[in-house]
Amino acid sequence: MPEAGSRRPEAWTRLAVRPSHADLRDAVSAAMFAGGAQGIHEEGDLLVTHLESATETGAIERSVQSVDAGAVIETRMIPAVDWSVAWRETIHSHAVGALTVAPPWLAAELDPAKTVIIEPAMAFGTGDHPTTRGVLRLMQSFVREGDIGADLGAGSAVLAIGAAKLGATRVTAVEMDHDAISNANENIERNGVADRVRVIEGDAAVILPLLAPVRVIFANIISGVLVELLPVFARSLTGDGVAILSGILDEEREKMLSVFAASGWRVLSEDAEGAWWSVALEMGR
């Protein structure tokens, strides 16, 4: 029962932010939380939060503009709803080839062996974003029974869990964001793959060589970081290893193909959805 004198707001303020560049998405999300957002969900390229009072928007707007001066911020009033329940309506299941990514409340009727159950939280990777789906689609052509893999910038560990469901026997999810670790571990337990997937907090450039050799690498990270990590990928893969990369804008495709070729990589397969491009690579032989 509400405390005496408490009341629900008659309306909420919806604040949506479109970052000026995909590379700034994580920084903008962090800035929204720093400015007072209690929760954020993705709607395509938008990062959306709901506030009880219109007066709260100023702090979030200033925080966002401090990290992305070109971000587009839109606010509007919407009727009051119980967001502790209604936010779930914004989260959907996503069929991605043989796998389905679903939140716990939509997973009961699905085949557990082919379902990646992800509790939406601050950690990136609910299946709502094309970059996540791109890696999941590509991995289904390359993950083999018994594979050893590494999921870099793991977020919710959705890719590591997906690889385990496809037959990988050991996958290490590497994540730098301390706040994402507990969510990743919860998702691993929820999916019954704790015997095959573990989480390590740290820098992928440092951790990956310690895990080598691995046969598959999954990295859904911004393109600039992917380029920096290419030499580490090459040193850490088995001779027949595959790196599946995403976080790359479609407009960057030609530039990235040139970088891959110059570094000795060969393209095995590509995936595109909306503004995003994903690719599977092997070192040239």
b/e per residue 86-119 (b: at least 16 CB within 10 A)? eeeeebeebebeebbbbbeebbeeeeeeebbbbe
At residue 60 the predicted structure's pLDDT band, cuts being 50, 70 and 90, is very high
Domain of residue 183: give its range: 129-283
Residue 116 lies in a domain: no
72 and 136 in one domain?
Answer: no
Position 245 scores a pLDDT of 98
Residue 227 CA: distances (Å) to CA of 214, 242, 265, 267:
19, 16, 12, 15
273 and 185 in one domain?
Answer: yes
Residue 174 lies in a domain: yes
> Tens digit of pLDDT for each residue in 204-225?
999 999 999 999 999 999 999 9
> Tens digit of pLDDT for each residue in 152-200?
999 999 999 999 999 999 999 999 989 889 999 999 999 999 999 999 9
253 and 154 in one domain?
Answer: yes
Would you say 87 and 119 are in contact if contact means Cβ atoms under 8 Å apart?
A: no
Query: How many separate domains does the chain show?
Result: 2
Mean pLDDT computed over 112-119 = 93
At residue 1 the predicted structure's pLDDT band, cuts being 50, 70 and 90, is very low
Last residue of a domain, one of 57, 87, 117: 87
Last residue of a domain, one of 33, 58, 87: 87
| Burial (Cβ within 10 Å: 0-12, 13-18, ≥19) of residue 203 | exposed
The model's pTM is 0.73
Neighbours of 197 (CB within 10 A): 27
Q: Is the pLDDT of residue 83 over 70?
A: no
184 and 255 in one domain?
Answer: yes
